[in-house]
């Protein structure tokens, strides 16, 4: 039953998927391993079943919809992630999973000339909002993280990945299909394609980043009875850290360095207690590794200044560097060629945000595609791409996948 892979069916299915964990403002709230994530996963498993894709679930909850068309050969994987940030948009990740599923089913329905098998994939916990770090499922798949260690990661309420996956029925035992190559399509989450009036982007490299986990230590005290000169206020110190990250980004001029603090937890967090500790997650990003290293150095200098003031101790618990690396040139050329054939307006561009493809490209030839985000809004319920933009991307992914299955990226070396 693969006759319904029409544009209309895609849009109808996307609307159905978007209703799972939907928010009143048009977004979704579907963090990894939650009940809403579980329902989205069940929906996808049903979809796989109705389109002759055999569903496998591995130990860390990655889902594969497999069409084995050439026995014992490796797999072209096509996918993204169904999990979302809290109160976020309905396109981020979910669009790419559904497009991957449609492309895989279309290739499987007419597999003429296939040299490899094809599978759609939904990676577990790309977002990293509930369980840290992000890109979790693809990190295990590519051997960058250990499955047993990942399963022990706990959320703020102390629930482990293992228990969360077990509870929603997606702590699987299947062997993951070995990849020959990978393609992913995603919303841009920035304004480049919109500003340039283009249909699609072909990603050439990812921005470099430093991601920090920081604890600011002060001394718990009474807000109403402790004189200012005796205070060691962790929240004052942490606020200085937040503004230091912003100042570092500003120092480098427009559009060069991004810097933010996203997670910020105050303890004990009572109206009349001077905070004892603040735990925060910061990041600093730039296209060039040298730039992000320079920003990192400036951040450390500013942290040292905050500590020298003597009120708080700023502990940088971890500073994880993500290098800027290139997507394989042959994959970029292939996608550009297909885009030209389809009459799409396109450009090459880096990705500022992280994606599962950043992990995959280190182990297999990987193609990363973008469609425009209206106003560049993302991680926000107002995130939006038009039906036409989604369908143009779907066609590009499907045609690129056909070429990959017939061996277009067979001889591409991986570093």
Name, in order, each residue with C-beta under 8 angstroms of 279's C-beta and a sequence gap of 6 or more. Answer: 213, 214, 215, 216, 263, 264, 265, 267
| Minimum CB distance to its own copies smaller for 88 or for 180 | 88
Question: In the 8-state DSSP scheme, what is residue 16?
Answer: H
Q: How far is the CB of 349 from its own copies (least distance, A)?
A: 12
* Stretch of residues binding its own copies (CB under 8 A), selected from 160-168, 226-234, 359-367, 387-395: 226-234
Q: Which of 366, 340, 344 is nearest to 206 (CA)?
A: 366
Q: Does 125 bind its own copies (CB under 8 A)?
A: no
Contact pick of 5, 52, 54, 132 for its own copies (by CB under 8 A):
132
Please give the Cα distance from 414 to 271 (Å, whole number): 55
DSSP secondary structure string for all residues of 83-150 = ---TTB-SSTTHHHHHHHHHHHHHHHHS-TT--SEEEEEE-S-SS-SSSSSSSHHHHHHTTSS-HHHH
| Minimum CB distance to its own copies smaller for 111 or for 259 | 259
| Minimum CB distance to its own copies smaller for 171 or for 211 | 211
In the range 20-59, which residues lie near its own copies by CB under 8 A? none
Contact pick of 22, 42, 43, 87 for its own copies (by CB under 8 A):
87
* Stretch of residues binding its own copies (CB under 8 A), selected from 73-81, 140-148, 172-180, 220-228: 220-228
Q: How far is CA 58 from CA 172, 239, 325, in A?
A: 5, 42, 28
The annotation status of 127 as a binding-site residue, yes or no, is: yes
Please give the Cα distance from 177 to 360 (Å, whole number): 13
* Stretch of residues binding its own copies (CB under 8 A), selected from 3-11, 70-78, 114-122, 345-353: 345-353
What does residue 244 show for φ and ψ, rounded to 5 degrees?
Answer: -65, -40
The annotation status of 81 as a binding-site residue, yes or no, is: yes
Q: How far is the CB of 356 from its own copies (least distance, A)?
A: 14
Contact pick of 17, 97, 274, 405 for its own copies (by CB under 8 A):
274
* Stretch of residues binding its own copies (CB under 8 A), selected from 66-74, 127-135, 168-176, 393-401: 127-135
Q: Does 372 bind its own copies (CB under 8 A)?
A: no
Contact pick of 67, 106, 216, 235 for its own copies (by CB under 8 A):
235
The answer to whether 238 and 216 are in contact (CB under 8 A) is: yes
In the range 95-114, which residues lie near its own copies by CB under 8 A? none
Q: What count of residues does the chain have?
A: 415
Residue corresponding to tokens 């990894």:
32
Please give the Cα distance from 38 to 33 (Å, whole number): 6
Q: How far is the CB of 85 from its own copies (least distance, A)?
A: 5
Q: Does 145 bind its own copies (CB under 8 A)?
A: no
# residues near its own copies by CB under 8 A: 75
The answer to whether 360 and 79 are in contact (CB under 8 A) is: no
- Give residue 294's Cα distance to chain centre: 25
The annotation status of 313 as a binding-site residue, yes or no, is: no
Residue numbers in the known binding site are 81, 92, 127, 186, 379
């Amino acid at each position: 039953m693969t006759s319904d892979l029409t544009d209309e069916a895609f849009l109808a299915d996307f609307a159905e998927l978007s209703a799972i964990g939907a928010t009143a403002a048009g977004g979704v709230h579907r963090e990894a391993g939650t009940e809403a994530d579980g329902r989205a996963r069940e929906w996808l498993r049903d979809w796989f079943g109705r389109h002759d894709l055999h569903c496998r679930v591995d130990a860390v909850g990655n889902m594969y919809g497999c069409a084995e068309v050439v026995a014992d050969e490796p797999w072209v994987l096509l996918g993204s992630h169904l999990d979302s940030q809290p109160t976020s948009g309905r396109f981020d990740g979910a669009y790419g999973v559904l497009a991957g599923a449609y492309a895989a089913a279309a290739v499987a329905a007419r597999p003429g000339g296939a040299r490899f098998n094809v599978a759609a994939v939904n990676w577990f916990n790309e977002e990293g909002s509930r369980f840290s770090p992000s890109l979790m499922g693809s990190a295990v798949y590519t051997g960058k993280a250990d499955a047993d260690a990942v399963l022990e990661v706990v959320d703020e309420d102390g629930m482990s990945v293992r228990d969360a996956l077990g509870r929603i029925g997606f702590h699987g035992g299947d062997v993951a299909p070995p990849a020959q190559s990978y393609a992913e399509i995603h919303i841009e989450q920035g304004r480049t394609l919109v500003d340039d009036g283009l249909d699609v982007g072909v990603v050439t490299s990812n921005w470099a980043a430093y991601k920090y986990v920081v604890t600011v230590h002060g001394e718990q005290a009474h807000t109403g009875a402790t004189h200012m000169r005796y205070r060691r206020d962790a929240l004052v110190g942490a606020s200085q850290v937040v503004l230091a990250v912003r100042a570092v980004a500003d120092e480098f001029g427009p559009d060069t360095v991004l810097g933010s603090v996203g997670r910020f937890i105050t303890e004990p967090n009572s109206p009349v207690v001077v905070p004892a500790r603040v735990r925060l997650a910061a990041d600093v990003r730039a296209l060039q590794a040298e730039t992000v290293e320079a920003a990192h150095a400036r951040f450390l200098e500013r942290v040292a200044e905050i500590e020298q003031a003597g009120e708080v101790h700023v502990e940088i618990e971890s500073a994880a560097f993500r290098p800027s690396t290139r997507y394989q040139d042959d994959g970029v050329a292939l996608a550009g060629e297909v885009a030209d054939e389809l009459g799409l307006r396109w450009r090459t561009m880096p990705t500022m945000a992280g994606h599962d493809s950043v992990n995959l490209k280190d182990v297999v030839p990987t193609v990363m595609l973008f469609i425009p985000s209206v106003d560049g809004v993302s991680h926000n319920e107002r995130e939006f791409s038009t039906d036409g933009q989604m369908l143009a991307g779907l066609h590009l992914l499907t045609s690129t996948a056909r070429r990959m299955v017939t061996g277009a990226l067979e001889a591409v070396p991986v570093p």
